[in-house]
Amino acid sequence: MTERKSGGPLHVDYPPIRNGMDYLDSVANCLSGEPTSRDLKYAVLHLQAATEVLLKARLLQEHWSLVFREPGRADRARFKSGDFESCGTPEVINRLRNILGVDLPKQAVDEINQLAKWRNALQHYGLTTPASAVESRAAQIFDFLLLFIDEHLTSNLDNEDVMYVSEGSYYLRAKLGSMRAVINVRMDRIRPTLAPVAARTVECPDCAQRALVVGSPLLRCHFCEEEHSRAANLAVFYVGVTLGKEWEPGYEDRASWPIRVCPSCAEDALVLEADTTAVPGSGTPLCFACGAVFSTELELADEGPT
């Protein structure tokens, strides 16, 4: 916020909570109506900023040194001037859990991690992703942040900030309701199309909606309309984003990598732990290439991806 000090020049004055709420307000405005590509770009950037600011605000409530990348080298004067390197979002999440006992839901952490990837792409080399994917993920993270404010920040705020947050949250929840309504209408529209293929429908790693239908002849999310040309690449993308199991060269336990060569089509696209609409939460072996579904007792000796 900007304030005029005793009739003097304007000052920029954004303490953490109000800063985070202002970023959320910007996100809500960017996603209102029919957002343009530019609106969605700034929705991603400002939502990532809101996430960092609000999560770090909880660390600040515990102790100012916790936002330093190296708390043991924290310096009060540098903190006051803002001249220091702060910890990244993954480390903030670790400190919330390990120091403050605030264990964020896995789904929220996965959403935040994907948002960070989008933000980094925008900052460094550009981003190409469906508009509806941005709207869907933004609505889910937006919802999480409003809940985080209520459950973990409000009780430690002063009266002025409590009033500010209360009024802001009321407005932002109304905006979130509009976002959810758009998402629900779109899901209601495609639900009849998805019903017959529930056994090979999974959560889309782009938009996080359960609307991605795998198996030939087309790999397509019916919510964000993103199409994929290679089943093996999509399987790795799904495992990395949706299941949170990133592949790295030299993976220590190759036997635990949940992708195998499919015995039906010989494609390296059989995801052993797919969460399908037909059997949610069960970890169903599903081939992203041919759509074949196998029993959960399936045991194969193939190695992980090459």
Residues 45 and 185 in one domain: yes
Residues 82 and 172 in one domain: yes
Residues 257 and 168 in one domain: no
Residues 168 and 229 in one domain: no
Quick one: CA dihedral 203, 205, 209, 213, positive or negative?
Answer: negative
3-state secondary structure of 2: strand
SS (H, E, C) 38-70: HHHHHHHHHHHHHHHHHHHHHHHHHCHHHHECC
Residues 79 and 117 in one domain: yes
CB 266 within 8 A of CB 241: no
- CA 15, CA 20: separation in Å to the nearest integer? 9
Residues 197 and 165 in one domain: no
Is residue 148, in this structure, part of any structural domain at all? yes
Residues 149 and 198 in one domain: no
Is residue 76, in this structure, part of any structural domain at all? yes
Residues 183 and 55 in one domain: yes
Is residue 302, in this structure, part of any structural domain at all? no
Nearest residue to 288 (alpha-carbon basis) of 223, 229, 244: 229
Is residue 75, in this structure, part of any structural domain at all? yes
Domain that holds residue 45: 2-190
CB 289 within 8 A of CB 232: yes
Is residue 298, in this structure, part of any structural domain at all? no
Mean pLDDT by 10 residues, the chain (306 residues): 56 74 90 84 93 94 93 90 89 95 90 88 82 86 90 85 82 82 86 94 91 90 90 93 72 71 94 93 92 72 44
Residues 154 and 212 in one domain: no
Residue type present at position 57 = A
